[in-house]
């Protein structure tokens, strides 16, 4: 992926981040965007951020995770706890799931979630810790390839089954809802929707720019070497465990941050975010856009989820068939997604140029 293509992707995300407050708040005369469009754009930006977290490992280090929905949901549950605590401070009414269980107050260990600073810190630290423990055991045992992918999916499925139980204290099957405010703004209002969507777009832009800069460093080249030939890199004296583990933890934090931005926009969190089908769908986004460089993952997430939002309203029964056909097309024609299409265009242009050169100059 060229620097020019990355620049174009960054400009598009920057324009989205600028357009959201301008049109969402009606600052442009006669051009106020409806709130559902602002909300859908914000959710798609969260999905782009989530796709980049998977691409960091899959495209960067050749490690395919089919369980990043775990970290996405973890970030969502943590922010939901903060939102419910702030809602209780405003209304004095316990969440429905606690009343259903006969509780008279929040568990004592929820008290620190009154603080937004603590919540932000735990959104970063908790997924890093979970990913660190899982990654250390797996990478130290040199579990790779399809075996690692299956294990990540099994871990996510186990977490989903656990969260379906009411006695876990996280709402069980019905989940957690009843959020009132985010950053002092009423959830469901235009101002809050614009704020969340804009922050999501800025976060996606920052992840793309900083991620691309990181992949261009020596650390990024080591990740690429692990992807291409990890045994040779170990033979040369590099300890690949810590390189992969640090990237794995970073990708988990990015996924959790995406979940923390996503949940206030949809107004609910339940175990459906831990469904393995979501993690599989994330991999499809990356595969469609193209692995490596993060831009392909962003494009795939935006295109697929944009089409999904559109078809969900116009032809909901057609979406599974469209997605299946798209997967077959990518697998058979474009193994590295839309990035392959860009590569074809570049090769055709170079071939045409070489045809104009004298033989001795080729």
HEC string of 18-43 equals HHHHHHHCCCCCCCCCCHHHHHHHHH
Is the distance from CB of 10 to CB of 209 less than 8 angstroms?
yes
DSSP 47-97: HHHHHHHHHHHHHHHS---S-THHHHHHHHHHHHHHHHHHHHHHH----HH
Q: What are phi and psi of 291, to 5 degrees?
A: -80, 150
**Residue 9 has what pLDDT?**
83
Is the distance from CB of 32 to CB of 26 less than 8 angstroms?
yes
Give the model confidence (pLDDT) of 224-261 as tens digits: 999 999 999 998 888 899 999 999 999 999 999 999 99
**Residue 354 has what pLDDT?**
53
Is the distance from CB of 193 to CB of 42 less than 8 angstroms?
yes
In the chain, DSSP finds a helix count (H) and a strand count (E) of 13, 4
Q: CB-based contacts of 197: which residues, under 8 Å, 6+ apart?
A: 20, 24, 38, 39, 41, 42, 45, 265
DSSP, res 270: -
**Residue 124 has what pLDDT?**
96
**Residue 30 has what pLDDT?**
63
Residues of the chain with pLDDT under 50: 350, 353, 356-357, 359-362
d(CA 114, CA 189): 22
Q: What are phi and psi of 219, to 5 degrees?
A: -60, -45
**Residue 345 has what pLDDT?**
52
């Amino acid at each position: 992926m060229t620097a020019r293509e990355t620049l174009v992707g960054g400009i598009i995300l920057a324009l989205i981040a600028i357009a959201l407050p301008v049109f969402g708040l009606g600052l442009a005369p006669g051009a106020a965007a409806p709130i559902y469009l602002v909300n859908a754009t914000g959710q798609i930006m969260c999905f782009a951020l989530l796709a980049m977290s998977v691409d960091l490992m899959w495209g960067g280090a050749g490690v395919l995770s089919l369980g990043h929905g775990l970290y996405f949901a973890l970030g969502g549950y943590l922010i939901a706890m903060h939102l419910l605590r702030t809602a209780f401070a405003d209304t004095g009414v316990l969440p429905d799931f606690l009343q259903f269980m006969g509780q008279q107050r929040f568990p004592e260990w929820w008290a620190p979630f009154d603080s937004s600073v603590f919540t932000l810190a735990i959104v970063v630290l908790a997924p890093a810790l979970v990913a660190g423990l899982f990654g250390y055991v797996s990478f130290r045992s040199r579990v790779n390839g399809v075996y690692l992918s299956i294990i990540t999916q099994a871990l996510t499925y186990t977490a989903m089954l656990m969260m379906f139980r009411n006695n876990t204290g996280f709402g069980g099957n019905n989940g957690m809802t009843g959020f009132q405010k985010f950053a002092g703004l009423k959830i469901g209002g235009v101002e809050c929707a614009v704020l969340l969507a804009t922050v999501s777009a800025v976060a996606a832009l920052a992840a793309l720019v900083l991620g691309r800069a990181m992949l261009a460093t020596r650390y990024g080249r080591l990740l690429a070497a692990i992807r291409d030939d990890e045994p040779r890199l170990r033979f040369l004296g590099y300890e690949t465990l810590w390189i992969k583990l640090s990237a794995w933890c970073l990708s988990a934090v990015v996924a959790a941050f995406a979940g923390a931005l996503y949940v206030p926009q949809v107004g609910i969190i339940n175990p459906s975010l831990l469904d393995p089908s979501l993690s599989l769908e994330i991999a499809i986004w990356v595969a469609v856009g193209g692995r490596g460089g993060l831009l392909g993952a962003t494009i795939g997430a935006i295109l697929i989820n944009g089409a999904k939002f559109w078809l969900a309203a116009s032809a909901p029964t057609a979406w599974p068939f469209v997605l299946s056909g798209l997967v077959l097309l990518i697998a058979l024609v474009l193994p590295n997604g839309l990035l392959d299409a860009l590569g074809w265009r570049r090769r055709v242009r170079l071939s045409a140029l070489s045809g104009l050169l004298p033989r001795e100059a080729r």
